[in-house]
Every structure is written in C-alpha cells, then in structure tokens.
Amino acid sequence: MGIVLGLLLRDFEISIVLLLYSAFIIFFLTKRVYEYLLKKGFEEKRAAYLNRKIVHISIGGIVSAIVPFVFNYPIVPSVAAWVLGFFLLYMRRASLMYWFQVKENAYEVNFAFAWGTAIFVLWSILGDPFLAMLPPMLVSFGDGVTGIVRNLLFKKRVKHWAGNLAMAAVMVPIGYVYAGPLGIVASLVASIVERYEFGIIDDNVLIVLASSLVIFAGKAL
C-alpha cells in the first residue's frame, strides 16, 4: 500500500507541473498568438479557432505522448483533465477566454473530458498505457492538424476532406508506433469520423469513441 501511495504522490506531483505548463499555454502563449493573428488581419473567430487547435496540439498532444512514460496509474492524468474540463466550463460562464473559446460551442470542454475519459477507461481495462494514449493523441494531434490545415486553406471553421487527409498522414505513423497495425486502423477510422458532428456530440467525442471501439475490438479478436 505504501508503494502505491508513493507512486500516486509522484503522479500527482507530475500532474501539477503539467497543469502549470497548460496554464502557461492557455493564459500566456495563446493569448500572445491571438494578438499577433489579429495584427496580421485574422478575424477574431478565426484566430480563436486556430488557437484552439494550438491548445489541442501543445497541451493534449504533447502531454498524451509523454503520459505512458511518466505516470504510473491512469487516475491522476484523467482527473487532471476532468478538472481542466470543469475549469473551462466555469470560465465560459464567468469570463469567456475569447482568445480560444467561442460563444457558439463548448467543444474545448468536450475535448478535455473525452481526453481524460479515454485514458481512464482504456488504461484501466487493457492495462496498456501506450494503447490507451492513442485516442487522446488522435483527438489532440490529429484533430489539431485538421483545424490548422482547414483554417489556412479556407480561412474559417469548415469540414473538408483536406483536413482528414492531413490527419491521416500525421496519425497513421504515430498510431503504428504506439499500437502497431491496430493503431493504423484506429487512426484511419478516426480520420474519417472527424468530419462528422451531431449536435453536442462533436468530433472530439466521435474520434475518441470510434478509435476506442476499434482498439477494444482489435484486442478482443
């Protein structure tokens, strides 16, 4: 029991460092990027959406890539993501962080909850942190790339296959490294479903759900 508590305490300490890193990205880096983009003639909403994808990659992507190497259990990074999700939801009501949050949707909140839930469920059931990190990386690196490509090509938030192709190009190699052939299949499926949204069920939820189902099915077979 003492060893487990010690490992959990270490996980907690690492999560504090990563939350501070996330706070730096959200409150300093992306705010400066937003101001820079406005000076370059970007519309406010376009700049905010581009910043949201920067958050996907710089927080969700980088953190998910290192989680299997620095955490001992899934509970701490998952709870940290859920705490971040509740904080983002609170800020939408208290003081909208306009440089990456928009009034039209709360998809950044969905992202945080989907990210944390994927880690907890997959890691707890499969016992493999590397497999567990593929859906979070898909919704971070993959979805982040789609948004940046479409933003630069079409100058607005729009669903287009150019983004999906970019997502597949980035995530298929990463999927293979983390999960082998199963990672390739999961990455391709996620790259397809990213294009769809159904009301509050946005692409963040669909990417995580579809890729997780592929992983579960693959392990079952």
C-alpha to C-alpha distances, 17 to 14, 151, 177, nearest whole angstrom: 5, 31, 26
Condensed to tens digits (0 to 9), the pLDDT of residues 105-138 reads: 899 999 999 999 999 999 999 999 999 999 999 9
Which residues have C-beta within 8 Å of that of residue 207, sequence separation ≥ 6?
A: 114, 135, 138, 139, 142, 143, 190, 193, 194
Taking the domains of the chain in order of start, what are their residue ranges? 2-220
Structure-token match 């928009």, residue found: 102
* Cβ-proximal residues to 24 (8 Å cutoff; 6+ apart), any chain: none
Q: What is the pLDDT of residue 218?
A: 93
Checking if the pLDDT of 215 tops 80, the result is: yes
Q: Is 216:121 a contact under the CB 8 Å cutoff?
A: no
Asked if 162 and 145 count as a contact pair (C-beta separation under 8 A), the reply is: no
Measured distance CA(51)–CA(42) in Å, rounded: 12
In the chain, what percentage of residues exceed pLDDT 70? 100
pTM for the full model?
0.91
- What would the pLDDT profile of 134-190 be if each residue is shown by its tens digit? 999 999 999 999 989 998 888 877 788 888 999 999 999 999 998 999 999 999 999
Give residue 53's identity as a one-letter amino acid code.
Answer: K
